[in-house]
Structure 1
Amino acid sequence: MNQSRTAQQVLEAEILPLRAKLLEIAAGLDRIERGDAPAAAPETMATIRTAIETLLRPGGQRAERIQLLFSRTYDDRWRDAMEV
């Protein structure tokens, strides 16, 4: 018997891991801010902000959209570029 879980059941199962990850992200951003990295890496910080905004948008495939934000564009010559 394969029953799907309700949104409430999924939330109850996921809340503690999600909370831990959110706290980890918040702590990482605090460390970056204390280290003055936003001034040193504005493009990377902009990508992080876009990823956080993506989390807030409705609709599925958030993980895919965030993965694509941090991915390089495909290069047919990647083996040469990475000397593989």
Structure 2
Amino acid sequence: MTLPHVMTAEEILQRDFLPLRARLIEVAAMLDRLDRAGGSPPDDERMGLVAQAIARLSEDRDDRAEDLQRLFSLPYDPAWRESFGIESRSQKAR
């Protein structure tokens, strides 16, 4: 049995550089469009989240994807089914 090949940083960069570059340019273009349109409304917290995400991307750490997922996620609500009007499996069985 052979172990799977673990890619080196150079191999990952070689494979992923162009798609990464395209996504970064896409983000920059979106921010430019917002600026040309007068920016976001002052009470819109989404731009604050975007600014936090961009800052966190520049941090030297290995859990940036998880960190951003948590940043953009709502805290867990044990009563989420009721909030969305969804019956639990135990309620359906009755």
Alignment match, 2:6? 4
Tell me which of 53, 71, 74 is aligned to 2:73.
71
Aligned-residue offset at 1:27:
1.1
Once the two structures are superposed, residues 53-80 of structure 1 have per-residue CA deviations (whole angstroms, 9 ceiling, x without a partner) of 1110011011000000000011111112
> What SS does the aligned partner of 1:59 have?
coil
Deviations 1:11-41 (A, max 9, x none): 1111001001001111111122223342344
Structure 1 pair 83–37 and aligned structure 2 pair: CA distance change class (3 A): farther
Residue 12 of structure 2 aligns to a residue whose secondary structure is helix
The total of aligned residue pairs comes to 84
2: distance between equivalents of 1:71 and 1:49? 15
Larger CA deviation: 48-57 vs 25-34 = 25-34
Bigger-Rg structure (1/2): 2
* Runs of at least 5 residues in structure 1 that lack an aligned partner in the other structure: none
Tell me how far apart the structure 2 counterparts of residues 83 and 34 of structure 1 sit (CA, whole Å).
40
Identity of paired residues, percent? 38
How has the CA–CA distance of structure 1 residues 41 and 13 changed in structure 2, closer, same or farther, with 3 Å as cutoff? Answer: farther
Structure 2 match to 1:25: 27
Distance 1:11 1:68 in 2: 25
TM value normalised by structure 1: 0.86
